[in-house]
Amino acid sequence: MDQVSSISAISPTRIIEKPDPLAGSDTAELLDHTPQHHSPHPDSPPDDLAVPGDRHASASVHAARQSIGSTLEEPPQEPFISTTLTTNNHTYTTVAKLGSGGMGDVYLATDENNNPVAIKTPKINLNASAKAIRSQVTRLKREIENMKLMTGKPGLIPLLDHKFDPAKPNDTVIVMPVYPEGSLLSKLRSGNKPHLMSIIYMAKKVAKALSELHNYDIVHRDIKLANILLEPAKKPESAYDLFDVVLCDYGLSKEMSDAENPSLKTVATDTNQIVGTVEHMSPEQASADKFLGESADIYGLATVIYVALSGKSVVQSTNTARILTTLLNLENATQTGLYIPLKAANPIIPNELTELVDNILTTTDPEDRLIKAGISGTSSAANALAYKLDQIILGIVDSDFQFDLVNLSENVTPVNPNSRLPVAA
């Protein structure tokens, strides 16, 4: 049996897909290029909406809708018909469909006071088996519960409002803010790409947000460029600290099962089920391991740093089966050319950062991964990673490295950074 065909040994396997209308991105990416909800710029009238690309300008909801619609790769074929969605607290009027996929739809909407919000509604196949329906409803309930739990925590998207009845899952309404700066994915694709230092600052903030999540024994399982939303930094530490991050999309999040060792043990999903985004998936997820933990999220964040600074996918293949089998034996990936070390991909990146990222991305075992990264044996590996990234920032500032003369993402075009695994029959 060769390496590629050996993936069939993970059987029976059901691959989960979360279809994305914006070039492979998901719900998070659908919140891009939309005005801030309930938190207008202090110098703007309360009802102002930021125009994409110019967050200081005001515009009508109609103008915002047109800007959002222009980001869709395939514009809606039918005229949008506004609908009313209600919860126990508010009534919302949909203004535009931001995107539609197999897991649900996301809309731009306004509340009674004309404040813009993003609303997610699920699409659960009620003709599926009872087990499949239960699984989807459980995941939906978990997403809402985790959003409620994380509301108010720094760096984690809040739940503004919701309606959920497990007996009527497709009537569910999940209300979230919208963010004018979009996601890290859209920022990398824009003409105003972030600087090396900005990317490290953002990565540090994502690590801190993950630490908050992990402190509640929750593993995210889908850390990627599209799930990192941006907003202007409230307390910038330097001229390069431009953005605060908001980690979103808890659709695949799961509670950890072993409070004694949260870095290693969490029940990931039903047995023999692979979930996640293939280009950002940890080896544990690729092997359909029943137990996942914060090490999987650490791996996901390392993939984000790698793609943002190199413009390459972590595994140099477009074949899903080959990517998955490579993840099961990362230690040999460099020799086979399937993994290009970050220093080789972009020689100007400081050694401390390339060594940290490479140590994470070339270690299959989750415990060894934390050890090689120097973040094991702590109460929070994510917090330890944030500290390491902060030290790297300080090292760059204190060195003779001419970080102000380079923009490492100038030519970055992520290679299919957010494609989803196809649904197996």
Q: Tell me the pairing of strands 228-232 and 243-247.
A: antiparallel
Amino acid making up residue 296: A
For 402, the 3-state DSSP assignment is: coil
291: which strand partners? Answer: 267
For the chain, first and last CA: distance in Å? 23
At 198-256, the pLDDT tens digits run: 999 999 999 999 999 999 999 999 999 989 999 999 999 999 999 999 999 888 888 77
Place of tokens 């080959």: 322
Q: CB within 8 A of 11, min separation 6: which ones? A: 272
- Token pair recorded at residue 96: 């535009």
At 66-124, the pLDDT tens digits run: 333 333 234 445 688 999 999 999 999 999 998 776 678 889 999 999 999 999 999 99
At 111-125, the pLDDT tens digits run: 999 999 999 999 999
Where on the phi/psi map is residue 105: left (φ > 0), alpha (ψ -120 to 50), or beta? beta
Query: Structural domains in the chain?
Result: 27-176 (3.30.200.20), 181-405 (1.10.510.10)
- Token pair recorded at residue 69: 């619609």
More confident residue, 33 or 272: 272
As a whole number of angstroms, the distance between CA 418 and CA 17 comes to: 11
Query: Using an 8 Å Cβ cutoff, are 317 and 333 in contact?
Result: no
Query: Using an 8 Å Cβ cutoff, are 224 and 279 in contact?
Result: yes
As a whole number of angstroms, the distance between CA 191 and CA 410 comes to: 9
What pLDDT was estimated at residue 43? 30
At 350-370, the pLDDT tens digits run: 999 999 999 999 999 999 999
Measured over the CA atoms of residue 234, residue 305, residue 145 and residue 96, the dihedral's sign is positive
- Token pair recorded at residue 287: 């092997």
As a whole number of angstroms, the distance between CA 80 and CA 108 comes to: 12
Query: Using an 8 Å Cβ cutoff, are 339 and 330 in contact?
Result: yes
As a whole number of angstroms, the distance between CA 64 and CA 104 comes to: 22
Residue 35 has pLDDT above 50, yes or no: no
Measured over the CA atoms of residue 255, residue 257, residue 262 and residue 266, the dihedral's sign is negative
Residue 413 has pLDDT above 70, yes or no: no
At 179-212, the pLDDT tens digits run: 878 899 989 988 778 889 999 999 999 999 999 9
